Structure formats: structure tokens, C-alpha cells
Structure 1
Amino acid sequence: MNNIDLTQAVEALIKFRSERDWSKFHTPKNLSMSIAIEASELMEHFQWKNEDEVNQYLSIPENLEKVKEEIADILSYLLLLSTDLKIDLNRTLLDKIQKNSEKYPVSKCKGKSAKYNEL
């Protein structure tokens, strides 16, 4: 699997934001709210559709492009927030995967969707 290097994306986001003097609006509260708003917009593409309908919807290039744009919006705000808070996303994600592997051991949860305290 290829490593994801978002350095260029983060640099472009910071430049874009700086050129517009938007840092003053990008507080942790506002960025976290923006992530939630964009996630809701992403969910709208799938709302009320069963799996077949979702696959059909995504087979239309214009629809897939709209979904990609929502994902990019979410990622943009997440990258700005993590950069502003000096959070190493790679390390944070790897740490969380480790914690989840302890909470959800394969022997107890394989093939199950129950929460860790219900296993």
C-alpha cells in the first residue's frame, strides 16, 4: 500500500487560507463544526438509499464527483484543525488503532458489530 503524504495538500491549504486572511475564522470550534457540517452533506448523498441504489448512484460520474468534493471538504477542515493544534495525524491514528485493537480483540469481535462493552 502506498503511504499517504499530505504535506503538499496541507501547504496548499495553509497558503489558500493565508491569502484570504481566514485564519481568524478557523478556530478549533469552527473547524470542528465545519467537519460535522460537511460530513452531513456527505451523508445526504446516501440517505434513504439501499446498497444497490448507492452503487447505482455512485456509478454516475457527476455523483461520484460530488461525493469526492464532500470528502475533500471534510479532509481539508480536518487537516487545518490538526495542523493548528499541532497534532501528528499519522501517530494519532496509529495510537487509536492500537487502542481499538485492545478494546476489540479478534477473538471476541470477529464478524460482530457489538460495541466493546457488549462483547
Structure 2
Amino acid sequence: MESEIEKKAAAMAEEEVAGKKVAADGDVSLKELSKKLNDFAKERDWEQYHSPRNLLLAMIAEVGELSELFMWKGEVRKGLADWDEAEKEHLGEELSDVLLYLVRLSDICGVDLGDAATRKIVKNAVKYPAPSKEGGA
């Protein structure tokens, strides 16, 4: 159960985010996320803690939390039809934690994550070509 202090802190954080007009529609670029994370860390004087090693370890911890959501569930169907809304919301939060640490880590390391991912897809297409459709049924 949330205490009054936790509720007030959460409300203040929501107002802060709302005041900065954070897009809630999911249409945000990696560069925008990077900027938001950088601003967030600066406002809290957290930059001193954001070394590559610390960010990597934090991301690994979040991957562990993400893994816990799937533990003991067996194979999970695409679309998560058997999950309730609270489970799906929690999944979204944990996926976001992993993504945010990954974006912050790439930024601190000076890696353009969008560019690197695009180049990796191209490399993978060369390494693993799609099967030929000629002669197929």
C-alpha cells in the first residue's frame, strides 16, 4: 500500500513529466529518449553515477526483473492472451526499464544506437539471406 508521501511524489513526478509534454503515444525517437534521459539525470545530479559499467549492471538487473515475469509460465503465446492487464502493464514497465538503460548506456558510450541497429540489420541480411522464392510452390 502506498504511503501519502509516495502518492505525493508520484503525483509530482507525473506533473513534471506532463509539464515537459512527454509524448505518451509511443511515437518517440531514440534521440528524443536520449535527450529526455540526459535531462532527467542532470536534473537529479545522477550523471556522476552513470558510468558505462554502472549502467550495464543496472540494465542486467532490469533484465532479471523482466525475466521474472515469464518465470514458471511455460511458453507464452504471442499477444499475451492469458495475461491480465496488470501483468501486461508490469511487462511494459520492465521492458521500458531495459530500453531506457540501453539508450542511456549507448549515449554515455558515444554509440548512435539507431544507426548501429540499422547497420546490424544490414549485416544480418547479408549473413543470413532470405530463402529464394524461385522454384517454390
TM-score of the aligned structures, taking structure 1 as reference length: 0.75
Q: How many residues align?
A: 105
CA distance in 1, matches of 2:81, 2:66: 15
Q: Give the % identical residues.
A: 36
User: What are the ranges of 5 or more consecutive residues in structure 2 without an aligned counterpart?
Assistant: 1-26, 133-137
Unaligned runs of 5+ in 1: 109-119
CA-to-partner distance for each residue in 1:66-119, whole Å, 9 max, x for gaps?
A: 1111111111111111111221112100111111112212239xxxxxxxxxxx
Note if contact 2:30-2:114 (Cα within 8 Å) is conserved in structure 1: no
Partner of 1:90: 114
Task: Please name the residue that 1:16 is paired with.
Answer: 40
Per residue, is there more helix in 1 or in 2?
1
Q: Paired residue for 1:38, among 50, 57, 62?
A: 62
Task: Give the ranges of 4+ consecutive aligned residues of structure 1 lying more than 3 Å apart after TM superposition.
Answer: 51-55
Equivalent AA in structure 1 for residue 99 of structure 2: L
In terms of Rg, which structure is larger? 2
Which residue pairs with 2:82 in the alignment?
56
**What RMSD in Å do the two structures reach over aligned CA positions?**
2.3
Q: Does 1:6 align with 2:30?
A: yes
State the Cα distance separating 1:4 from its structure 2 match.
4.9
